[in-house]
Structure 1
């Protein structure tokens, strides 16, 4: 039966905190089918089966459950239900677990308990800058201020060389689209890797999983472009240095997710009855979520100390709110509190008393501006063998001088650019540059500033 499966290359990868055993896999599968239609049967049910692909000499374990699920229909005032088929596929290879799933129930809590996610930073280390073309990137600025731009995205045939990485250290990449040869990949901030391809058989997907694991195990050191952005750090190290001081619910992606997936919002009344909220209440809810909320030294929300706070865990920061627990989201036929939905999907950001840190999408990041720019600055600097022979800036002059001396800085510049179409000496005191050159063949304009000094002078300040 599993041979009938045709899948896309769309997975998340995990590393177990201990060892993978029958109990853990059984718990994950059990949680995933929690939204299974009552009295229905599994279309495919496979538990940790040993599989082998002879032509690739690949051995792996595979667990599969395909099952029908129902969810209420809200666009008509009748008791109708949508019937969909959901699946979860777990592929175990070496010390990795690859998860493929669609329309199944929430398994995030179990995964957090037993596994460590191979995050987007690990996935982007599987290739070097020269191997790919960065076609799209979405960035979250390290701020929650109402007066600042919070997010932006860029798209081009290849962003390398087009997108300035100046001050990129204060930006967190949360979506990346790239082309590697003929293959297009996307990597999201949740650690999901999607590779464009036709649908593949289960064995072919397992071969792809092995390829990704081998790439993860052998990361590239040529990641200068992505290294320019904010780097991930351990939350424990940040909490040892500073404290959270404000929180923002990412209301825009939250609202877009609810509207895109057609999710229903309900409110639990004092009598315990769940009612679908009106548009007026929904708009009021999201207007409240758009605000930035300050935190006191105990991580309680200022003005709402009795009902809302930020909980500090070993590896995460969790938002807890009595108000948000009264709202319910219906997803895949199952009801979860709005608070749990926000936390599960990472729809909140936290800033700290030290502004170089920010918590976003379940991870902590550090501003790497300055340090991350050193390599990119060095890359644009090219040494010239003629410069050590320079003895002055312009050299000497007489009434008959028609060119700068060959051992002057100005003379070296004009010699280096002698093949350009035009060279303008603009040294007039109010110039844009000492020289401006135009090269039509290379579609290039150069602004050149020339300085020379034979000694370093230091002024001693009075004590």
Structure 2
């Protein structure tokens, strides 16, 4: 009956960890059938049949499942058909399937990953034209745009290189000549658009792709090379070590709340109960903490909450081709497992503890002591900008000597005070940082867009500036920047000065400044400019089609000289502090986010 099989050229390609014997194959087919309710007799089953240089196996049967749109109490079942075709060739395997899944134990024991670099090289040839691309940001920051997608007839013609190195391709669609491909490099999924074809033609397709994977050299396509590129993990671990770990909370939340592919359950005393929305959100919040990675002990590294390295909450294992999550013991994750929603509650035969699910799905990000590296989706990527020495970061750092004397962010206030103290960050912004702005207003507190907003309508082109002031002791860590980066990024869209909101903002600026502790000062919120012409001047800036928008973090906690020295040490072969790695990643994600919003991000700091 297999002669009636018709399927498209879509398969997941894997490296075989060990030879697949006939006994192992028989066990696989038996396990697949046992995982489904009321399986029918096999419509067809074939074991290790030779075809050319390859060997193929296949199975097809029907089974009962609960309709996704009916509760279990309806006691309604539907019968569906599924098939699986497994092709073995040159130490690799291709899996074609519909409604049948490989058991987790089999996949773990026999199937390894094909590197994303080989997938790219096999189909992203020099003449390839990219039409769609889904990207993941190389950052563990919760303030970064995690993913974004592009779609066009030719992406190279419409996507500029600015910020591209901060993103790694998760999946893409391209055309090469008359062929149209879709690929997800992290899972080895490769699809070629075609008519539905028979099983032997599917085997031939699998053979040709595996040959391309094994014969592929480095990716040659110029467009894809502008993004972060996959690199060999074993080689990278010779000179770098993991520094920070974060669960891909956004991906997990999407699978739970958006696509509803999985649910979280707690198993206690043999009873299985689904977590409530409140419990899920609390658990996701707990998983959102960035964990510090300890020193390498053998192949293992401990995971700890910041500042608590003596009390680890997890561990990762550094293998030759991947990094595995071996332990994750956070309070709210205890006894929590993951089920697929296609099964009734408590009946998923492949139910996994949450830690094992996160590991299986490669649902985490790891940063390294080499800031150029990021482990995402089961692949290690190199950020080209950092690989060139990190000088791109220095271009975004602007020095201001007035910040050397700053001792506080805003200072203390007295009744009737008429100006911000000169030794504060706010004072430095007014005195010199925003010196070129003919309009400057203080927007601190309340519905705050920025601490100060400046306009220069006389410049060519006009300029809109949002200033976010902070103070702190000198540091090369990321902690002093989290709040200011968060504030700056969440207000990027407001740099367009939305007309509907401007009336209320302008009315608020007509009053004097009231401190956070309630002190009524005589400091005018309109620092420079005619208060009676604010509506006209802001409308002029809003309507200017060529206006430049600047998001500027002004801080006394960072020295450009210290950053230059840290980068020089890295170039000289030194191992950077993990906190500096996090600082680099946080700031570069901020600058990239500004690029995405057609703005320019800067950090104004001490010399």
* TM-score, structure 1 normalization: 0.70
Q: Is 2:60 aligned against 1:66?
A: yes
CA distance in 2, matches of 1:284, 1:68: 40
Deviation (angstroms), 1:12: 1.5
Q: Is 2:25 aligned against 1:25?
A: yes
Go from structure 1 to structure 2 and tell me whether the alpha carbon gap of 1:246 and 1:130 turns closer, same or farther (over 3 Å shift): closer
Q: Is 2:92 aligned against 1:96?
A: yes
Go from structure 1 to structure 2 and tell me whether the alpha carbon gap of 1:319 and 1:141 turns closer, same or farther (over 3 Å shift): farther
CA distance in 2, matches of 1:196, 1:50: 26
Contact 1:233 1:364 in 2 (8 A): yes
In the other structure, the counterpart of 2:552 is none
Deviation (angstroms), 1:158: 0.8
Cα deviation digits, residues 308-364 of structure 1 (max 9, x gap) = 312214232315224536222222542222222221111111112332211111222
Cα deviation digits, residues 237-271 of structure 1 (max 9, x gap) = 334433323222212222222342543332123x3
Residue 360 of structure 1, aligned match among 376, 383, 396: 376
In the other structure, the counterpart of 1:241 is 239
CA distance in 1, matches of 2:39, 2:215: 47
In the other structure, the counterpart of 1:210 is 207
Deviation (angstroms), 1:296: 4.2
Contact 2:372 2:386 in 1 (8 A): no
Residue 338 of structure 2, aligned match among 321, 329, 332: 329
Residue 117 of structure 2, aligned match among 113, 118, 121: 121
Q: Is 2:316 aligned against 1:311?
A: yes
In the other structure, the counterpart of 1:227 is 225
CA distance in 2, matches of 1:37, 1:330: 16
Residue 196 of structure 1, aligned match among 188, 193, 196: 193
State the Cα RMSD in Å.
3.2
CA distance in 2, matches of 1:87, 1:337: 27
Contact 1:229 1:372 in 2 (8 A): no
SS in 2 for 1:212: helix
SS in 1 for 2:279: helix
Q: Pairwise mapping of residues 212-291 of structure 1 onto structure 2 (< 5 A)?
A: 212-219=209-216, 222-258=220-256, 259-269=258-268, 271-291=269-289
* TM-score, structure 2 normalization: 0.55
CA distance in 2, matches of 1:305, 1:339: 21
Deviation (angstroms), 1:177: 0.9
Give structure 2 stretches of 5+ with no counterpart.
296-300, 390-458, 462-607
Deviation (angstroms), 1:90: 0.5
Deviation (angstroms), 1:204: 1.7
Contact 1:35 1:105 in 2 (8 A): no
Go from structure 1 to structure 2 and tell me whether the alpha carbon gap of 1:343 and 1:33 turns closer, same or farther (over 3 Å shift): farther
Q: Is 2:158 aligned against 1:142?
A: no
Contact 2:313 2:327 in 1 (8 A): yes
Deviation (angstroms), 1:8: 1.6
SS in 2 for 1:300: strand
Cα deviation digits, residues 153-197 of structure 1 (max 9, x gap) = 222111124322345333211111112234321111311012222
CA distance in 2, matches of 1:328, 1:370: 38
In the other structure, the counterpart of 1:407 is none
Contact 1:13 1:97 in 2 (8 A): yes
In the other structure, the counterpart of 1:409 is none
Higher helix share: 2
Deviation (angstroms), 1:135: 0.7
